[in-house]
Amino acid sequence: MLQDDLYATMFKRKSVRKYAPGKLDPVMMEMIVSHLSELKPLFPEIRTELKVMTNPEVKGMFKVDAPHFLAFFSEVKEGSPANAGFMMQQMDLFLSANGVGSCWQGGPKPIKEAMGASELEFVTLLAFGPPAQDIHRKSVAEFKREPLAKISDVNGYDDLLEPARLAPSGTNNQPWFFTGGNGAIHVSYARSMIVDQMNQIGAGIAILHLWLAATHSGKIVELRKDRSSDANPPKKYSYVASLILS
């Protein structure tokens, strides 16, 4: 699968909540499992592990009735939820680009017996399977999202920020803010008493969309922490990471 396919999928993907009976065919499942080892991390120093689970191994609020689930486990470190968002969104796009339905699952968790699948800490889930509904939007107009002016004060780079604006988030609240310009985009997430981890995951998803758009436009992109942005995030936001563009 080419990165260009993932780029194009950002403009049409949607959450799939209706699944056909039965499981994915074994060839598709094998392709999905082998893609797991190709995911790019946002923070390579954080150890992670992804496990495929079955429907009965997962329970909780807002669970969709999919046959398969991808569980993300991680070392507990600063940035691990954003790292999970960045890596799992590559799977969300990969699945959608291959005609497989998927839906992020912030509410549900693996059952006790399945939690032991990894010695790392559970972070989040993605449901997937054969879809029983349209999996793509027909146009960008179908995305319900905030306008760019509400989530960014970056001067320029609208072509990179637009796909980040369309990124999925836990309660579709676009919990991110973009600052910078002139060779850098800095990303912060909206702090929250209730959905702080989910908002950090959301920022990681938005960074992935920015990264795909920047590489698609031919830019060389370095993902890293920027000390002065870390010290000066917008009010009510915390800094996550920057894209340095050249």
Ligand X SMILES: Cc1cc2nc3c(=O)[nH]c(=O)nc-3n(C[C@H](O)[C@H](O)[C@H](O)COP(=O)(O)O)c2cc1C
Applying CB under 6 A, which part among 12-20, 25-33, 148-156, 218-226 lies near ligand X?
Answer: 12-20
Give the three-state DSSP class for 3.
helix
HSE-CB for 127 with a 13 A CA cutoff? 27
Which string of b and e fits 44-74 if b means at least 16 CB within 10 Å?
A: eebebebbebebebbeeeebbebbbbbbbbb
Assess contact for 178 and 161: CB atoms under 8 A: yes
In order of 19, 56, 89, 111, 169, the CA distances from 66 in angstroms are 6, 10, 18, 16, 19
Measured between alpha carbons, how far apart are the two ends of the chain, in Å? 25
Q: How far is the CB of 64 from ligand X (least distance, A)?
A: 5
**Cα–Cα distance between 103 and 92 in angstroms, integer?**
8
Assess contact for 88 and 128: CB atoms under 8 A: no
Applying CB under 6 A, which part among 9-17, 32-40, 219-227, 232-240 lies near ligand X?
Answer: 9-17
From candidates 79, 106, 131, 163, binder to ligand X by CB under 6 A: 106
Assess contact for 102 and 96: CB atoms under 8 A: yes
- What are the backbone angles phi and psi of residue 123, rounded to the nearest 5°? -115, -55
Q: How far is the CB of 239 from ligand X (least distance, A)?
A: 19
From candidates 3, 11, 14, 53, binder to ligand X by CB under 6 A: 14
Give the three-state DSSP class for 178.
strand
| For ligand X, the closer CB: 154 or 201 | 201
Which residue from 181, 148, 178 is spatially nearest to 166, judged by alpha carbons? 148
- Site residues (CB under 6 A) for ligand X, limited to 46-105: 62, 64, 103-105
- Sign for the pseudo-dihedral over CA of 89, 21, 64, 49: negative
From candidates 3, 59, 98, 107, binder to ligand X by CB under 6 A: 107
Residues in the interface with ligand X (CB under 6 A) total 18
From candidates 201, 206, 210, 212, binder to ligand X by CB under 6 A: 201
Per CB under 6 A, 177 contacts ligand X: no
Site string for ligand X, 108-147 (x = CB under 6 A): ----------------------------------------
Site string for ligand X, 149-168 (x = CB under 6 A): -------------------x
From candidates 170, 180, 204, 233, binder to ligand X by CB under 6 A: 170
| For ligand X, the closer CB: 184 or 201 | 201
Q: How far is the CB of 200 from ligand X (least distance, A)?
A: 9
> Which tokens hold the place of 125?
């889930």
Q: How far is the CB of 77 from ligand X (least distance, A)?
A: 19
Residues that bind ligand X (CB under 6 A): 14-15, 17, 62, 64, 103-107, 168-170, 172, 198, 201-202, 205
